[in-house]
Amino acid sequence: MSSILTNNGAMVALQTLKGINSSLAKTQDQISTGKDINNAKDDAAIWAISKVMESDVGGFKAVSKSLSLASGAISTATKAAESVQSLITEIGKKVASAKDGNLDRATLQADVVKLKAQIETNVKASQFNGINLVNGDQFDGASTFKALSALNRAQDGTVTADTIDVDLSNTDLRLTGGTVAAMTDLAALDLTAVTDWDAALATVNAAFSAATDAATAFGGANKRIEIQSSFISQLSDSMTSAVGALVDADMEEASARLQALQTQQQLGVQALSIANQAPKSLLSLFRG
């Protein structure tokens, strides 16, 4: 039955055209943004997962920066410990020369005083971003330097932090006011007053061992930071790729779909135009 009041063909064609236009708009949005899922209405579950993963990637970047800062502080401390080792070696040579008695001990003592002053200078100057790990710094009252190394997310969504710790209880290389006994003993060394040269050499060797222990602690921590930094970088890249696999649009597919929808749109407009012409054909029935 034909009717001039209800055009079923036009209604069907209109609904079809609306569907095509909606799909075309979504495809154009995918092409312009490069994403298949732009917001929660596109796919709430995948969108929520991708946002959590993006948050984790942001956390990895913060961890990477923390590791870089920690590496700077620890590398500076390592260089300081190595310089102290070198200076103590020179002091040991002065003690050996004084023991032989071939050189003036007062002159040698003056050299030792200068070397010890240089140790103090190097220790005080060895700071990075205000952090000096060989000058007895206590962070918030703790004798441990902590470098943020990871942010771990559990299945229930809770996040915990891991750190790379450096025990500072034996890394204080100050001669005056320090906490390492061997360094304090070295500060009291006076070649003009020595009566037991073996004990004097033992004092120097103990101080050298203390500096070596500090350098070893810093070196081990720095190696861990280097390994962790590399891992965090790889993990961040991997998670970024995973997020892309979830939400990024397939541009080849989107391009092909765009052309197909544009063709369908043209045909839909044509179909609607034809359907709208149908009521006019009824006029021929009333012509005599």
Whether residues 207 and 118 fall in one domain? yes
Whether residues 63 and 190 fall in one domain? yes
Whether residues 230 and 260 fall in one domain? no
Q: Could you tell me if 251 and 34 are in contact, meaning their C-beta atoms sit under 8 angstroms apart?
A: yes
Q: How high is the pLDDT of residue 288?
A: 56
User: Is 181 a residue whose pLDDT tops 90?
Assistant: yes
Whether residues 147 and 278 fall in one domain? no
> Is position 34 within any domain?
no
Model confidence, pTM: 0.75
> Is position 21 within any domain?
no
Whether residues 162 and 203 fall in one domain? yes
Whether residues 225 and 276 fall in one domain? no
Residue 67 sits in which domain range?
Answer: 45-247
Q: How high is the pLDDT of residue 119?
A: 96
> Is position 38 within any domain?
no
Q: How large is the average pLDDT for residues 173-185?
A: 91
Whether residues 260 and 147 fall in one domain? no
Three-state DSSP class for 165?
A: strand
C-alpha pair distances (Å), 284 with each of 272, 277, 280, 287: 21, 13, 8, 5
> Is position 14 within any domain?
no
Q: Which residue has the tokens 């101080």?
A: 207
User: Is 270 a residue whose pLDDT tops 80?
Assistant: yes
> Is position 93 within any domain?
yes
Backbone angles phi, psi at 271, to 5 degrees: -65, -40
Q: How high is the pLDDT of residue 219?
A: 92
Whether residues 259 and 118 fall in one domain? no
Considering only the C-alpha atoms of the chain, give the largest distance between any 2 of them, rounded to a whole number of Å: 143
> Is position 234 within any domain?
yes
How many domains does the chain divide into? 2
Q: How large is the average pLDDT for residues 51-74?
A: 90
User: Is 280 a residue whose pLDDT tops 80?
Assistant: no
Q: How high is the pLDDT of residue 37?
A: 83
Q: How high is the pLDDT of residue 247?
A: 83
CA torsion sign for 137, 140, 143, 145 is: negative
Taking only the tens place, the pLDDT of each residue in 118-145 is 999 999 999 998 889 998 765 555 688 8
> Is position 8 within any domain?
no
Whether residues 124 and 257 fall in one domain? no
Taking only the tens place, the pLDDT of each residue in 69-117 is 999 999 999 999 999 999 999 999 999 999 887 778 999 999 999 999 9
User: Is 1 a residue whose pLDDT tops 70?
Assistant: no
Whether residues 166 and 194 fall in one domain? yes
Computed over every residue of the chain, the mean pLDDT equals: 87
CA distance 47 to 248: 11
